[in-house]
Amino acid sequence: MGAYVYAHLFIILNTGAKHPSKIEVCVDFPYHPPSHRSKPWSPNRKDIDMNAELHPVPAPIDLDAFWMPFTANRQFKANPRLLARAKGMHYWTQDGREVLDGVAGLWCVNAGHGRTEIADAVAKQLTTMEFAPTFQMGHPVAFELASRLAAISPPGMDRVFFTNSGSESVDTALKIAIAYHRARGEGQRTRFIGREKGYHGVGFGGTSVGGMVNNRKAYSAVMLPGVDHLPHTLDLGHNAFSRGLPHWGAHLANEFERLIALHDASTIAAVIVEPISGSAGVILPPVGYLKRLREIADKHGILLIFDEVITGFGRVGKPFASQAFDVTPDLMTTAKGLTNGAIPMGAVFAQRKVYDALMQGPEGAIELFHGYTYSAHPAACAAALATLDIYAREGLLSRAATLAPQWEDAVHSLRGTNHVIDVRNYGLIGAVELEPRAGKPGTRAFDVFLKCFERGVMVRQTGDIIAMSPPLIIEPKQIAQLVETLAGVIRDTP
């Protein structure tokens, strides 16, 4: 990417209000090509310090054409927030401000930004072989990656199906669950059980088992038939300000029995939950809840799917949350941290029994009619292998466990700040829930998000909740900066 970025030194008289009459470094980006590209950018250039204050010539970017995902397009385009560069724990905005990344991009850049090892591995792969099919063909990097993933997977989950995103991983897992039962002569098991407030991406399958109302309501008439939902486990009345997992609420898993009694087990293929819900604002499983789901699923022959798209790859101090919670699912969906966010990729992990059940019929027959052109794309595989190397070399898959006590103390220091009605944490995940403004839900947290960004910290807002999930390389002083900035902003936000 960097090869496309051309940087120029301009001596300008900055007429901006902030730094009057200061000589600045300016950076131009390709969407605003400079008139004279004399000196291409390279990582070795010394004249632009990563920490220099960069003030580009304001670029008249046309914002109209890009229909932005999950964004208030008109509001954003009236007041855009543009990120231009990233390294380590930081982004730099288009106008050169340094911003501490409190959300690892979107829960994906677990090893921090600008990892040259990943860029180099991808570049090498692209020049060696940019693409190879994996339908009735193969390439070694795909098999190597699957084996490496199997080696860190929860017990028995050593069969890996590659996708390109979390959404594709979820829809893949749902289809595998149906195909599994069918292969075993239980083709009538077609129902799925999801959970209220769950987020499983945006495919029709994931939307159907998901439980966030705004993601569903426009499409409600075309959801998968036969899906039902468990109640969510967020209950501030019982659990507000719990440190780590809440102790109240394991009994909510018994609702699974109620749904089974209603629909009959023989119609249910799988239950899917996030071990920790992320998108809905960090909802933690009560102590014992996931174990209970596992027991009930086993009792009724229902597959248990953990959606570990955000909890996978070290976020909770183990490679996967199922290991942290000591509950092993039958299928596990992942993406994001798999490649450190550098190249889109997802992976579904399956128990050997699930894979084996499908390895039936004539040897020459395709066993699962499912796959993507870019399943195990060579560049994504190379990125994932380089990412796994970094995770191993730097101990990042367990670092969240080391930092968790300090993280917990830091985020819980927000208790008592005005409007704060709950603080939640686990591993390197944290959330602060604010009292909604009367009649204007979500606006207080959105203002907090905006003000944090102005003050050099990026957090994530959902409803009246601020979520944090920094890169796992975060240093203690940066934890303090993140939380202190947030505290100051919340105090200043009416």
- Count of other CB atoms within 10 angstroms of residue 237: 6
Nearer to ligand PXG (CB atom), residue 201 or residue 249: 201
CB 168 to ligand PXG: min, Å: 7
Place of tokens 């969906």: 333
Nearer to ligand PXG (CB atom), residue 373 or residue 418: 373
Output the six-digit token pair for 147.
């084996």
Binding of ligand PXG at residue 461 (CB under 6 A)?
no
With CB under 6 A as the contact rule, the residue among 102, 166, 249, 471 that binds ligand PXG is 166
Interface residues for ligand PXG in 124-143 (CB under 6 A)?
A: none
Binding of ligand PXG at residue 464 (CB under 6 A)?
no
Residue 381 backbone phi and psi in degrees, to 5: -60, -45
With CB under 6 A as the contact rule, the residue among 274, 330, 422, 433 that binds ligand PXG is 274
The C-alpha angle 150, 153, 155, rounded to 5 degrees, equals 105
Binding of ligand PXG at residue 460 (CB under 6 A)?
yes
Q: How far apart are CA 327 and CA 288, in angstroms?
A: 10
Among the listed ranges 82-90, 184-192, 274-282, 485-493, the one in contact with ligand PXG (CB under 6 A) is: 274-282
Would you give the binding string for ligand PXG spanning residues 186-205, x where CB under 6 A is met?
A: -------------xxx----
> Which helix (H) or strand (E) element contains residue 379?
helix 378-393
CB 258 to ligand PXG: min, Å: 24
CB 353 within 8 A of CB 89: no
Binding of ligand PXG at residue 284 (CB under 6 A)?
no
- The three-state secondary structure class of 431 is strand
Nearer to ligand PXG (CB atom), residue 338 or residue 490: 338
Interface residues for ligand PXG in 320-379 (CB under 6 A)?
A: 335
Among the listed ranges 42-50, 165-173, 232-240, 363-371, the one in contact with ligand PXG (CB under 6 A) is: 165-173
Binding of ligand PXG at residue 473 (CB under 6 A)?
no
Binding of ligand PXG at residue 462 (CB under 6 A)?
yes
CB 199 to ligand PXG: min, Å: 5
Interface residues for ligand PXG in 211-270 (CB under 6 A)?
A: none
Q: How far apart are CA 250 and CA 139, in angstroms?
A: 45
Binding of ligand PXG at residue 165 (CB under 6 A)?
yes
CB 436 within 8 A of CB 466: no
Binding of ligand PXG at residue 278 (CB under 6 A)?
yes
Q: How far apart are CA 228 and CA 421, in angstroms?
A: 30
Buried b (16+ CB within 10 A) or exposed e, 166-180: bbbbbbbbbbbbbbb
With CB under 6 A as the contact rule, the residue among 28, 101, 307, 330 that binds ligand PXG is 307
Residue 310 backbone phi and psi in degrees, to 5: -100, -25
Interface residues for ligand PXG in 50-89 (CB under 6 A)?
A: none
- Count of other CB atoms within 10 angstroms of residue 464: 22
Binding of ligand PXG at residue 279 (CB under 6 A)?
yes
* DSSP state for residue 245 in the 8-state scheme: S
CB 1 to ligand PXG: min, Å: 20
Nearer to ligand PXG (CB atom), residue 6 or residue 446: 446
CB 57 within 8 A of CB 10: yes
Q: How far apart are CA 275 and CA 284, in angstroms?
A: 7
Q: Tell me how far the alpha carbon of residue 235 is from its chain's centroid.
A: 24
DSSP 405-416: HHHHHHHHTTTT
Residue 404 backbone phi and psi in degrees, to 5: -55, -45
CB 407 to ligand PXG: min, Å: 17
With CB under 6 A as the contact rule, the residue among 179, 209, 269, 310 that binds ligand PXG is 310
CB 228 within 8 A of CB 193: yes
- Please work out the total of residues on this chain that contact ligand PXG, with binding judged by CB under 6 A: 19
Q: Tell me how far the alpha carbon of residue 82 is from its chain's centroid.
A: 20
Indicate the residue whose CB is closest to ligand PXG. 166
User: Applying CB under 6 A, which residues contact ligand PXG?
Assistant: 106-107, 165-167, 170, 199-201, 274, 278-279, 307, 309-310, 335, 460, 462, 467
